[in-house]
Structure 1
Amino acid sequence: MHDAPRLGSLFGPDSQFHRFFNDPRWAIALIRATVLEAAHPQVGAALIDNSSFVAHPWRRLRNTLMSLQRMFGPDDDVRQREAARLNRMHARLSGTDARERPYDAMDPGVRAWVVATLFESSVTMCRLSGQPLDQTTMEQLYAEYQAFLAVLGDAAGHLPPTLAEFWPYYDRMVEEELEDTEALRIILYRLFDHLPAPPLLDGLPTVWAAGRALAGPVIGSITVASLPESFRRRAGLPDVPGARTLMQSAYVAAGLARFLPDNWLRTESLTDLLFQSSDGDASPAATLTALRGRMKQAGALFRLVAPFAEQPAPPGGPGPQRSADAFFTEVLDQTGDGYLEWPDLASMARELASRLDLDEPAETRLYQAYAEWWKELQAALDTDGDGRVSKEEYAAAVPSLAGPALIRVAEVLFDVTDADGNEFIDADEYRALFRTAFGRTVADADAGYSRSAFVKDFLSFMSGRRRSTAYDPLLAGA
């Protein structure tokens, strides 16, 4: 057996992970890995209770890709900082599932399974596309994922030490641990069928609906066909005729796309395009505006030849205010379960902390501010005492939303955004939070964004339900 590679060689541009990250096949493999993760009862329960992946799937995708880039990049300081952030985030995710079984995102065995699905799905994507990995490359990739767990601080042993021992471990997990979880069913049969448009296409509902109607069932069928056969049978997942042929064709076609010019398929470039705001920096925004114009023309032509039913207006449409019902659904209900609970506000805090790349003290302050707001909301809105706020309870007492605790959230958010502490948010600080330039949304861009103006705008958005070109993409966007 070849010598084990040094730890330093397991990260950065020369790693196997880096090569796969920009491989079109990896997009399909990542979906497969996510389904296998969700089939673990602890992971599935954590997703259902805490994740915003149903209501905000594109945000979740971007954050996952950004985290992986930080963890596998060449900068060890960035890697250690991201590992600490992930550990703080996971430490907040625990509870019990519908069968009263405990789950804990810090469970090292569960975290090992998440990493195992990424590794195994990478190996499987190569095999299904007719380009199986050789032993040396496979061992290198496995060592990289072991190093990933080591950076997180998990003790050795939860992921088998050698590749030869990994495959029996994987088979045992599939046979004994995986279940037909609610999260798995949502991903396969709800998420793809109701996937909201990414920011690039949020103004083109007809075009998006047409593409989703065609692609959703195909993606679901491909993913199911690629899962281990024993688990498919046990979970009762349908074996659609022709699905395996379609799956192999998709992997082969994606593999051929690797021969396109490198700058066409860089994951970072594609995600930047998908998530770029139309009022962002000049050059990217101009490119996006031109692209959106072309797509709108195509959408108009498509409606003429294949009209669809009228689609609801997307968030951020005309009009300064949204209804209480729309605000509850688009902003407050981050997990998409129809209720306002602590995980919804925790999801907001998590997104804000991630965007600003906060360290531990600042992140804790933000979470604590949101926790105090949740207590205030419960006291004011939870009239039936069930521990959560329904859409009806919210609509009946909307003015109560703007209490002292919400003002405290606004103050803390200003503090953690104002990185240099000069009591103004400058252009770079604004861009870190909103991912867009602030010339159009801040009255005096030269002077910066003052504390009072920031707090006023935040409260106007969160309590008055006023639409905002800054806050809608941040908290209401998909």
Structure 2
Amino acid sequence: MVDQTSVSFKRDLSEWRIALVAWRLLILQAADPAVGAGMHEHSTYRAHPWRRIEHTLGSGRRLFYQDADTLRREVARLNRAHKRIRGEMPDGRAYDARDPATRVWVLLTLFECVAAMRRLGGDPYDADQLELAYREFGEAIAAFELPEEELPKTAADLPGYFARYTAEKLEFTEAARYLLEDVLREAPRPRRLWFLGDAGWRVLRVVVAAAIRELTVADLPPTVRERLGLVRTRQGALLSVLLHRGAGIVVPRLPERMRYRSPEERVAPPRRLRPQRRDARGSRVDRFFREVLDQTGDGVITVHDLRAMAHNVCWQLELDEAAEARVYAAFDGWWEQLRAAMDADGDGEVSREEFVAATLAGCDRDGAYLERGLLPALRAVFTAADTDGSGFLEFDEYRAVFGGPRVHPAELSHGFRQLDTDGDGRITVEEFVGGFTEFFTARADSTSGAQLLGRP
């Protein structure tokens, strides 16, 4: 009999070595056609990869490291978010993020990657330990109320499950290809690496992207590599051995405070607040399109970009279903007015050229875009953030929606003061709407607006 105290899935999940299999996890998940289609249409991973990762890590903390009530609320929040992730794949197949088989795959890849981390590091679970870890994992995900027939009953059933799912479902989706080949080569500089400067980051990300690709392909299960048409190179195999075995020797010998990630969110270092650029208005509008409105990073604005903004607001505030529906409805209305004002060729999308041309030409002469589009969306955000119904945003309420692990307190205070124009320590709806109207019409930079969207 194995000592149960010697095995803990949650503890292993929080070990720093998990970073070595993080990209492997993303590829396994994105290779599911439903996940890949949802990421391509709805996710902000192209334009805001670091925010997407932070949301994922934050959700994991709530699922595995917090109390039962936090777990329940997080599952409810995920259920509400996934309800809106559905559509059609390029080949016409329907997809829905609430599909039980897809949800089981996503969750089980997390368990499989923890087991792979141990195996690749030279300290694999034995059969009894694997069963104990799987039992602990099952207790943590019970709140999802997944169909019993979809979940393998024991850890011994996992290899058969993964083989079948790989053969029957996995594809080298566009999302998986982009994650493996391009996203790190294009990713904006993380704020924690501010000291590198843009030039230093451009050099470093090429090296990092190549290394992560080689490591990820080398570490994928052979059946998955074969299914996706990927080839493990000698360099990748050597890199895998060096990194995993080296970490397997070093990390377990570290003190616990250094071996494990804290479940608490850490605050990012302050960003140097730069003055507004004195470029031409056309250039600033173009930059605003790329860095703010094109949330999904596909080069056009669609309803999915506006819903990504709504998602970020709802995610921060943990709204109930009714309040969340009001926010989404307001952002959908904003999209309809934006499309009506700027979609010159009527293709249901707003290109960068259409946005720049319409903005410079003053597209809102009749006031419809503002009065029936942008302003209702801003008022919906204000109402959702005003949790005590006072008609004002106090600093704690402002922090709930605009704060987060990447926002330093000094920067948060600066954004609050930008909106609090009369300096009375609270933000009225008029101040809120006025400040964000400037931001969302590309007339001014705003720390507050940047944090609403999680800009890099």
Q: Number of matched residues?
A: 435
Write the distance in 1 (CA, Å) between the matches of 2:389 and 2:339.
33
Give the partner amino acid of 2:261.
T
> What is aligned with 2:330?
369
Cα 1:265–1:337 change in 2 (3 A) is farther
Q: TM (normalized to structure 2)?
A: 0.88
Work out whether 1:101 is the aligned partner of 2:93: yes
Write the distance in 2 (CA, Å) between the matches of 1:70 and 1:237.
34
Work out whether 1:474 is the aligned partner of 2:441: no
Cα 1:18–1:444 change in 2 (3 A) is farther
**Of 376, 380, 388, which aligns to 1:420?**
388
Indicate if the aligned counterparts of 2:310 and 2:328 stay in contact, CA closer than 8 A. yes
Write the distance in 1 (CA, Å) between the matches of 2:182 and 2:158.
32
Indicate if the aligned counterparts of 2:16 and 2:260 stay in contact, CA closer than 8 A. no
Work out whether 1:452 is the aligned partner of 2:435: no
Q: Secondary structure at the match of 1:267?
A: coil
> What is aligned with 2:149?
157
**Of 130, 133, 136, which aligns to 2:125?**
133
> What is aligned with 2:224?
231
Report matched runs for 1:33-432 at 5 Å. Answer: 33-202=25-194, 204-255=197-248, 256-264=250-258, 266-268=260-262, 272-273=266-267, 275-278=268-271, 318-319=277-278, 323-398=284-359, 399-400=363-364, 401-432=369-400
Cα 1:414–1:139 change in 2 (3 A) is same
Per-residue CA deviation, residues 228-279 of structure 1 (Å, 9 max, x unaligned), is 2233233222332221121121122333234334444653489624x4544x
Write the distance in 2 (CA, Å) between the matches of 1:23 and 1:218.
21
Indicate if the aligned counterparts of 1:53 and 1:60 stay in contact, CA closer than 8 A. yes
Work out whether 1:30 is the aligned partner of 2:22: yes
Query: Which sections of structure 2, spanning at least 5 residues, go unmatched?
Result: 404-408
> What is aligned with 2:406?
none
Query: Which sections of structure 1, spanning at least 5 residues, go unmatched?
Result: 279-288, 290-313
Indicate the percent of aligned positions where both proteins have the same amino acid. Answer: 37
Give the partner amino acid of 2:184.
F
Give the stretch that moved more between structures: 188-197 or 18-27: 18-27
Work out whether 1:464 is the aligned partner of 2:442: yes
Give the stretch that moved more between structures: 70-79 or 42-51: 70-79
Q: CA shift at 1:325, angstroms?
A: 1.3
Give the partner amino acid of 2:82.
H
Q: Secondary structure at the match of 1:200?
A: helix
Q: Secondary structure at the match of 1:48?
A: helix
Indicate if the aligned counterparts of 2:181 and 2:213 stay in contact, CA closer than 8 A. yes
Cα 1:158–1:74 change in 2 (3 A) is same
Indicate if the aligned counterparts of 2:284 and 2:442 stay in contact, CA closer than 8 A. no
Write the distance in 2 (CA, Å) between the matches of 1:340 and 1:15.
48
Cα 1:271–1:245 change in 2 (3 A) is farther
Q: TM (normalized to structure 1)?
A: 0.85
Give the stretch that moved more between structures: 187-196 or 208-217: 208-217
Give the stretch that moved more between structures: 252-261 or 28-37: 252-261
Write the distance in 2 (CA, Å) between the matches of 1:333 and 1:141.
41
Give the stretch that moved more between structures: 198-207 or 48-57: 198-207
Q: Secondary structure at the match of 2:87?
A: strand
**Of 6, 16, 21, which aligns to 2:8?**
16
Q: CA shift at 1:191, angstroms?
A: 0.9
Q: Secondary structure at the match of 1:438?
A: helix
Write the distance in 2 (CA, Å) between the matches of 1:141 and 1:445.
54
Give the partner amino acid of 2:302.
E
Q: Secondary structure at the match of 2:146?
A: coil
Cα 1:406–1:423 change in 2 (3 A) is same
Cα 1:31–1:115 change in 2 (3 A) is same
Give the partner amino acid of 1:389.
V
Compute the RMSD of aligned alpha carbons.
Answer: 2.6
